[in-house]
Amino acid sequence: ERQKHIRNFSIVAHIDHGKSTIADRILEQTHTVAERDMQNQLLDTMELERERGITIKLNAVEVHYDAKDGETYIFHLIDTPGHVDFSYEVSRSLAAAEGAILVVDAAQGVEAQTLANVYLALDNDLEILPVINKIDLPAADPEKVRQEIEDVIGIDASEAVLASAKQGIGIPELLERIVTDLPAPQGDLEVPLRALIFDSEYDAYRGVVLNLRIKEGIVKPGDRIRLMNTGAEYDVTEVGVMSPDAQKRDYLMAGDVGYLTASIKDITTTHSGDTVTLATHPAEEPLPGYRPMTPMVYAGLYPADNARYTDLREALEKLQLNDAALEFIPETSQALGFGYRVGFLGLLHMDVIQERLEREFNLDLVTTAPSVTYQVTKSDDEVVEIENPSELPEASQIKSILEPYVHASIMVPNEYVGAVMELAQRKRGEFDTMDYLDASRVNVKYYIPLSEIIFDFFDRLKSNTRGYASLDYEISGMRQSDLVKIDILLNSEKVDALSFIVHRTFAAERGRIITAKLKELIPRQNFEIPVQAAIGSKIIARTNIKAYRKDVTSKIHTGDPDRRAKLLDKQKRGKARMKAVGIVDIPQEAFMAVLNTD
């Protein structure tokens, strides 16, 4: 029957090892996309993904493959991101598949996220098909990589497909192996519908479009469905598959991966990980959902124009629909007005959300420096979660502060081990273990405060190892630390949005750096502005922004009206991102100054 001819799989790899290129080749060689429509990284549909050359969102597509056995197979290929911030996207796609293609770069070998992603696949009981890619590279060493996959990951790689996605080598073999090596889905058609929502997006005309993996039963237009967690019910208007554009179908059945629309306008009723069943014949139990992702990094997002506060909320709600890890609550700042404290999985996630808000929703934002969550026990034993540094209670009222730590795994060539350990030590890391990956590379593990990771750890790691180190981490728990809050005063006024929390031993240095940075970033005004860093009432660093009287345009002697207009325009646009705090104008960059260590 039909399920025997279905293969649902995802592609996992460390970033840049070639997932998206392999997906492109599969689309090409199965004639899913006409040659003239083919473009690189076809599944990376988001503008941002194409520009940065990274995959952010998972993408599912159906292709038809005529196998050597004379039968036609339906593949549902789910491309996934490789960056640590987006591993929740990976786990979502894995829950919709039976198999995973594991791509490893023939020159780089197993990297930190190779391991992390393969463990996610093994946790989901997926069959793994290893592919050693980029064998065309002069530095490729497929035999060494094959051995590494066996030694480090512990799966049989003797039959690994050797491929060059770039040159199309090994792709015909890969397509056959998907048929022979990966299992077909085995869902019961006769039982009530159970379908996993693994993603969804909002369409202005059709309402919410649900991306589903049908595990059991069958669903068709006209059916009344129920979302098991929220209880909401809708009438199905359309079902279909992406191939890669939407194609309507008469029904979706167990084993299928496809989309469903039901004029769902209320986006709060649909959550990724929820189970869709039929209202008339409901299933008894929902499918196991996803592990909810807890954001670990928080920042304040404020519309530069306060009148657009509601637009910001609506934009965040829409993004949240296909980004389960995004969280936000309203917040007010004396300096910035009304905005949201938004929770992210990491800095790249934050960066991506911020850019999407600006591009897709045309918002100008002022963002505060990211911070981790702290758990504070107060003198009266009350425990509070602090997501905004300015809300840290007075030192006299604090018994203890806990901060999140990560368990970090750093893979690096031998010659850089010293540099890595020195960096980790300096970032308050606690050494855990060191294992050899092969004769020339090691995997060093440390416990490190998350706040140090988001501060500048990754950049330093890359520069101290000439780009050779790869990093993966997971939250390991909360630990007590000697932390203090540093407040920033401009013109003797505390600016709440500039407060940050640091380890006491770094306080004096960071106070000095940030006041110097602010002096550079805040434009001179026609009065002198003292810039101070303080712990409680104690000033730990200070500097002054000198007064400046002249209008910038007075400097232009050419009298060229064009140039003058341009300058004024530039000034005006800069102003859009400035926030007047008291009588001082603060530009957006100043709120990020705390992240700047140079």
Residues near ligand GDP (CB under 6 A): 13, 15-21, 41, 53, 55, 82, 133-134, 136-137, 164-166
28 vs 136, beta carbon nearer ligand GDP: 136
Helix (H) or strand (E) holding 48: helix 47-52
Please, which residue, 87 or 515, has the CB nearer to ligand GDP?
Answer: 87
Distance, in Å, from the CA atom of 199 to the CA atom of 289, rounded to the nearest integer, reads 12
Judged by CB under 5 A, which stretch of 16-24, 196-204, 401-409, 453-461 contacts Mg ion?
A: 16-24
Does 117 sit near Mg ion (CB under 5 A)? no
166 binds, among Mg ion, ligand GDP, none (CB under 5 to 8 A by kind): ligand GDP
Q: Which residues are annotated as a binding site?
A: 16-21, 133-136
Of the candidates 322, 240, 203, 221, the residue with the CA atom closest to the CA atom of residue 278: 221
Report the C-alpha gap between 80 and 531 in whole angstroms: 46
CA distance 198 to 186: 19
- Neighbour count for residue 59 (Cβ, 10 Å): 25
To the nearest whole angstrom, how small is the minimum distance from the Cβ of residue 354 to ligand GDP? 21
Instruction: Tell the smallest beta-carbon distance from residue 348 to Mg ion (Å).
Output: 14
| Shorter beta-carbon distance to ligand GDP: residue 41 or 491 | 41
Nearest to 279 by CA among 235, 238, 237, 240: 235
Q: What CA–CA distance (Å, rounded) separates 83 from 350? A: 13
3-state SS, residue 500 = strand
Residue 43 or residue 209: which is nearer to ligand GDP going by CB?
43
272: contact with Mg ion by CB under 5 A: no
**What Å distances lie between residue 211 and 271, 350, 561, CA to CA?**
11, 24, 55
**String of DSSP letters for 119-181:** HHHHHTT-EEEEEEE-TTSTT--HHHHHHHIIIII-S--TTPEE-BTTTTBTHHHHHHHHHHH
Strands 398-413 and 383-386: unpaired
Whether residue 244 is preceded by a cis peptide bond, meaning omega within 30 degrees of 0, is yes
Tokens linked to 162:
């050797």
Q: How far is the CB of 79 from Mg ion (least distance, A)?
A: 7
| Residue 113 binding Mg ion, by CB under 5 A | no
Measured between alpha carbons, how far is residue 287 from residues 94, 195, 198, 256 in Å?
14, 8, 12, 16
SS (H, E, C) 220-277: CCCCEEEECCCCCEEECCEEEEECCCEEEECCEECCCEEEEECCCCCHHHCCCCCEEE
CB of 596 to Mg ion, least distance (A): 30
Nearer to ligand GDP, 16 or 364 (CB): 16
Which listed option, Mg ion, ligand GDP, none, makes contact with residue 16 (CB within 5 to 8 Å by class)?
ligand GDP
Contact yes or no for 87/123 (Cβ under 8 A): no
Query: Which listed option, Mg ion, ligand GDP, none, makes contact with residue 57 (CB within 5 to 8 Å by class)?
Result: none
Closest distance between Mg ion and the C-beta of residue 13, in Å? 8
- Segment 138 to 177, residues that bind Mg ion, using CB under 5 A: none
Q: Which residues sit in the known binding site for GTP?
A: 16-21, 133-136
Q: Which of 20, 261, 373, 443 binds Mg ion (CB under 5 A)?
A: 20
- Please report how close the Cβ of residue 461 comes to ligand GDP at its closest, in angstroms: 19
Considering beta carbons, is residue 133 or 261 the nearer one to ligand GDP? 133
The least distance separating Mg ion from the CB of residue 156, rounded to whole angstroms, comes to: 26
| Site stretch for Mg ion (CB under 5 A), options 18-26, 103-111, 162-170, 266-274 | 18-26
CB closer to ligand GDP, 170 vs 258 = 170
490-508 CB burial, b ≥16 within 10 A, e <16: bbeebbbbbbbbbbeebbe
Residue 21 binds: one of Mg ion, ligand GDP, none (C-beta under 5 to 8 A by kind): ligand GDP
For the bound state, the minimum distance from the C-beta of residue 36 to Mg ion, rounded and expressed in Å, comes to 23
**Which of the choices Mg ion, ligand GDP, none does residue 465 contact, using the CB cut-off of 5 to 8 A by kind?**
none
Least Å from the CB of residue 137 to ligand GDP: 5
- List binders of Mg ion among 46-85 (CB under 5 A): 55
Q: Angle 11-12-14 (CA atoms, 0-180°, nearest 5)?
A: 140
| Region near Mg ion per CB under 5 A, out of 11-19, 227-235, 258-266, 520-528 | 11-19
Q: In what order do the strands lie in the sheet with 99-105?
A: 59-66, 72-79, 6-13, 99-105, 127-133, 161-162
Q: From the list ligand GDP, Mg ion, none, which binds 7 (C-beta under 5 to 8 Å, kind-based)?
A: none
Residue 388 to residue 155: CA distance in whole angstroms: 44
Taking the least distance from each CB to ligand GDP, the nearer of 18 and 273 is 18
- Is 136 or 456 the residue whose CB approaches ligand GDP more closely? 136
Binding site for Mg ion (CB under 5 A): 19-20, 55
